[in-house]
Amino acid sequence: MTNAVNKPDENRREAAVLPPVDVIEDATGITLYADLPGVGKEQLNLRVEADTLTIEGEVVLNAPEGLQASHAEVQLPRYRRVFSLSKELDPDKIAAELAHGVLKLRIPKAEHAQPRKVQIRVG
């Protein structure tokens, strides 16, 4: 079971596409990969409030001046995904990277949830 789960948002004002997200967990935390094609850094909004992580992005499709698309498959120019974060994760240490339309978020486990080696004393 992963430490992040999709959480429905009841206050959604605008319709948005749920971007596909891969969640990979290891001993020290989780890594999320969200596909956000067409979203630039300036159009990306990441928020953490309490135990909720929100990913929002606006798709920018630039058409040459004077031209109009005769067919557009992107009907909703917004991405939005909301996750509940486990208490084991440290939201203050989230690292984000956006490259080639893929957002990578690294969320480490809190200090108390990190694996640690127990010292053995000889007595």
- Domain positions in the chain are 4-65+72-113
Query: What confidence score (pLDDT) does residue 45 get?
Result: 97
Greater confidence (99 vs 17) lies with 99
Structure tokens at 114: 């990190």
Query: What confidence score (pLDDT) does residue 8 get?
Result: 45
- Kindly report the backbone phi and psi dihedral angles of residue 14, in degrees, each rounded to the nearest multiple of 5, phi listed first: -110, 145
Q: Which residues pair with 56 in a beta bridge?
A: 45, 80
Query: What confidence score (pLDDT) does residue 74 get?
Result: 66
Query: What confidence score (pLDDT) does residue 13 get?
Result: 59
pLDDT, one tens digit per residue, over 23-79 is 999 989 999 999 999 899 999 999 999 899 999 999 877 778 888 777 777 667 899
Flag whether pLDDT at 6 surpasses 80: no
Percent share of the chain, pLDDT over 70? 87
User: Domain spanning 4-65+72-113 has what CATH number?
Assistant: 2.60.40.790
